[in-house]
Amino acid sequence: MNPIIIDGKETSRKVLHNLRTDIAQLTQHGHTPGLAVVLIGEDPASRVYVDSKVKACEELGIYSQKWVLPTETTQKELVQLIHQLNADDRIHGILVQSPPPAHIDEQAVILNIDPRKDVDGFHPINVAKLVLEDHTGFVPCTPLGCMELLNTYSIPTQGKHVVVIGRSMIVGKPMAHLLVSKQANATVTIAHSRTADLLSICRTADILIAAVGRPGLVTADFIRPGAVVLDVGINRVEDATRPRGYRIVGDVDYGSVQPLCSAITPVPGGVGPMTIAMLMSNTVKACKLTCGA
């Protein structure tokens, strides 16, 4: 079997290209989309993610603000900043980089973000809108990117059995809601660490989505021949042969799984690039909703 390698880099470029047209039209009418990204502390990986988001804004013509707060920033100080950004008409999207330091209550921070600016899609109002299939809400960027990949590669979901490994509010649960919606019409099983006989359940999947953060969990034994596999995992594993001493791998053992699939995402270069692209898309959507475009 010669599987299709689902190229997230190329798909994200297409998404961003289309956004440039929308942004130009909005700007012509006096509306420039704006995104504020907030980082608490100096975690190197989080700093890289934040910088990549700001860079994407610059390349697209989206107005951006980057706030890097000291690790000792209090909950009260962070919430005060969120309220300031809620009231800033230049800002249409607010993102607080996860995870924050341990003393910050992340859920409380999310609750203080204006749901109209919650481009991460984590506020309860946006979660409810996802469940209700109300398209004025915002969907978390990674599952939204997965759907974009399925659509771009014309991978049918109607009537298909999809197994999602992972039940987080960031990927697993919103992914399942998107797939059972009237637009996708899939039948979905959510599996997780307490699922009995995970291997057998995965082998029934027409589409398997791995989002658990466990490198190489999904091996060839999990795959029904001809299945589509989306690997959401981004894991660092030690590798003395690499200059940085590590390499990035997914939740799927790509070498053993790839020959069995009809289509598969690599790591890196699969789902990962779509997350930032969909964040930009959500920011533009927020601007459109605000200005009635």
Residues marked active site are found at 53, 97, 120
Q: Which two tokens stand for residue 218?
A: 């999904």
Burial of residue 158 (CB within 10 Å: 0-12, 13-18, 19+) is exposed
Separation between Cα atoms, residue 78 and residue 142, nearest integer Å: 25
Report how far apart, in Å, the C-alpha atoms of 234 and of each of 21, 84, 212, 215 are. Answer: 31, 33, 9, 8
Those residues with Cβ within 8 angstroms of residue 48's Cβ, 6 or more apart along the chain or in another chain = none
> Could you tell me which residues are beta bridge partners of residue 238?
246
Q: Reduce the DSSP state of residue 59 to 3 states and report it.
A: helix
Neighbours of 221 (CB within 10 A): 13
Alpha helices in 133-271 (DSSP H): 141-152, 172-180, 198-202, 254-257
The three state secondary structure string of 221-238 is HHCCCCCEEEECCCEEEE
